[in-house]
Amino acid sequence: MSFLRTLSLTAIAATLLLAARTPATAAELTLKGVSCFPEKTYYSERFEDLIKRVNERGKGVLQIRYLGGAPKVMPPFDVGKNLKDGVVDITGCTAGFYQNIVPEIDAIKMAELPVAELRKNGAIEYINKIHNEKMNAQYLGLLNAYGEFHLYLNKPITKPDLTGLKIRVSPLYRAMVEKMGGTAVTSPPADIYTMLERGTVDGYGWPAQGIFDFSWQKVTKYRVDPGFYRTEMEYLVNLDVWKKMEPAQRKLLQDVMLELEKEDSKELAVNAEQRKKQEEAGMKPIRFSPADEKKYLEIGREAAWGSIIKASPEHGPKLRQLLTKK
Ligand code: 173
C-alpha cells in the first residue's frame, strides 16, 4: 500500500469517526449581530443582554457574534439595509433608522397596549408579515417599550411653537417638529454633540434615557415635558437565515426575547431616575399650560397618524386599529 493511499484511508477513517461522534442535530450556528447604537450605551444594553443569554444557553446550538454597534461598525441608517441583504444576521434597531424600508414600523411609536397584548391581538404577527415582505426580515419583537421621547432645547419656549428653531430629528418625530413650525434636520446620534456645541441646531429629540451616554447634558439647557410617543427597539433576523434555522435555534431566540419582554417594564423606574439626573445636571424642565400641553400632545398624535396613513394607505388604518385602545 502506498504511503499516500494509507494517508487517505486514515483521513477517511478519521472523518467517519468524527461523524459518528457528532449528534444527529445540526451544527452550531453563529449569527452576526449589530446594534444601531454604540456598544454599552443604553439602547444597546438589551441587545447585549439578549446576546449574552443566547450565548450562555446556546452552546452547540446557537451563538451570536457581536460585531458591535453603530456608528463604529456601520452607519446607523445602514443597519436595516445590511440586515435585509444578509450582511448581518440579527439586529437591535429603532424604527426611525429603517422606516425607509418598512414605513409601517413608524406606527409602533403610537402603540397604546402592552407588548404582551400586541402579541395576543395579532399586531406583532401583522407587523412580522410586513417585515417578511418588505425587508426580508423576521420580526422577533420589541423592547424598551416603556420610554417616551422629549424635545431638548437650548432656547426656551412657552408654548408648542418651534417657529424659527432648528431641531435635530430622527424620522420618528420629524413630522411633529415640522407641524410645530420648526425646521427639522435629520441626523444620526453621533452628530448631535457637535451640532449643539456649534449652535447648528437649537435642540433635538431623544428619549428620557441615554443623554448621559453621549454627555449631551453639557450642551443642553432645557427639556420639554411631558414625553411623547413610545420608544422601542426592534429585534430582527434576516429571513433567509431564519428559514434555515433549526426549531431549537429559533426557540432559543424566541424564548430569550419573551423573557426580556417580560422584564421590560423595569424601564419605567429608569425614566423617572434619568429625568431627575438631568435636572441635577442643570437641565431645566419646560412645562406648558394644561391647554397647551394638550395641544402639544395632540399635534404629535395627528402628525404621526397623518404620516403613517399617508406612507401606507394599505396597512396604516389596520395598524391603528391593532395598536390603539378601542
Ligand atoms: O432620536 C433618535 O435617534 C431616535 O429616534 C431614537 C429612538 C430610540 C431610541 C433612541 C433614539
Give the tens place of pLDDT for each residue, 150-209: 999 999 999 999 999 999 999 999 999 999 999 999 999 999 999 999 999 999 999 999
Of 89, 54, 60, 36, nearest to 210 by C-alpha is: 36
What average pLDDT is seen over the chain? 94
190 CA distance to ligand 1 middle (Å): 11
Asked whether residue 9 carries a pLDDT value surpassing 60, the answer given is no
Which ligand 1 atom sits closest to the C-alpha of 96?
A: 5
DSSP letters spanning 151-188? EEESS--SSS--TT-EEEE-GGGHHHHHHTTPEEEE--
149 contacts 206 by C-beta, under 8 angstroms: yes
Phi and psi for 237 in degrees, rounded to 5? -125, 140
Strand order in the sheet with 148-153: 183-186, 166-169, 203-207, 148-153, 222-230, 284-287
Same domain, 207 and 66: no
The answer, yes or no, to whether any atom of ligand 1 lies below 6 A from the CB of 207, is: yes
The verdict on 54 and 139 lying in the same domain is yes
3-state secondary structure of 70: coil
Q: Which of 113, 58, 112, 63 is nearest to 90 (CA)?
A: 63
Task: Mark whether 158 and 212 lie in a shared domain.
Answer: yes
Which atom number of ligand 1 is nearest to the Cα of residue 233?
Answer: 8
Task: Classify 187 as helix, strand or coil.
Answer: coil
CA 227, CA 209: separation in Å to the nearest integer?
A: 11
Q: Is residue 24, in this structure, part of any structural domain at all?
A: no
* Identity of the residue numbered 58: G
User: Cell for 12?
Assistant: 477517511
Distance of CA 292 from the midpoint of ligand 1 (Å): 25
- Residue 288 pLDDT level (bands cut at 50, 70, 90): very high
Q: What pTM, to 2 d.p., does this model score?
A: 0.92
**Residue 97 CA, closest ligand 1 atom number:** 5
CA–centroid distance, residue 96 to ligand 1 (Å): 7
pLDDT tens digit string along 216-275? Answer: 999 999 999 999 999 999 999 999 999 999 999 999 999 999 999 999 999 999 999 999
User: Could you tell me the pLDDT band of residue 1, with boundaries at 50, 70 and 90?
Assistant: very low
Which protein residue's CA is at the shortest distance from atom 6 of ligand 1?
206
Quick check: 17 pLDDT over 90?
A: no
The answer to whether residue 244 sits within a structural domain is yes
193 and 58 belong to one structural domain = no
How much is the pLDDT for 326?
A: 80
Q: Which domain holds residue 88?
A: 29-145+231-267
Same domain flag for 54 and 79: yes
- Write the CATH number for 209: 3.40.190.170
**Same-domain check for residues 184 and 50:** no
Do residue 207 and residue 308 come from a single domain? yes
Residues 239 and 204 in one domain: no
Give the Cα separation of 48 and 65 in Å (integer).
11
Asked if the structure places residue 3 within a domain, the reply is no
In a domain, 308, yes or no: yes
- Grade residue 13 by pLDDT with cuts at 50, 70 and 90: low
Q: Do 208 and 290 fall into the same domain? A: yes
Pick the closest to residue 47 from 91, 83, 109, 95 (CA basis).
91
Rounded Cα gap, residues 261 and 120, in angstroms = 14
pLDDT of 3 over the 90 cut = no
Contact yes or no for 286/224 (Cβ under 8 A) = yes
Angle at 68 between CA 135 and CA 264, to 5 degrees: 70
Residues 214 and 313 in one domain: yes
Q: Which helix (H) or strand (E) holds 61?
A: none
Band (pLDDT 50/70/90 cuts) for residue 108 is very high
Look at the chain and report how many structural domains it folds into: 2
Q: Are 138 and 163 part of one and the same domain?
A: no
For a pLDDT cut of 90, what percent of the chain falls above it? 92
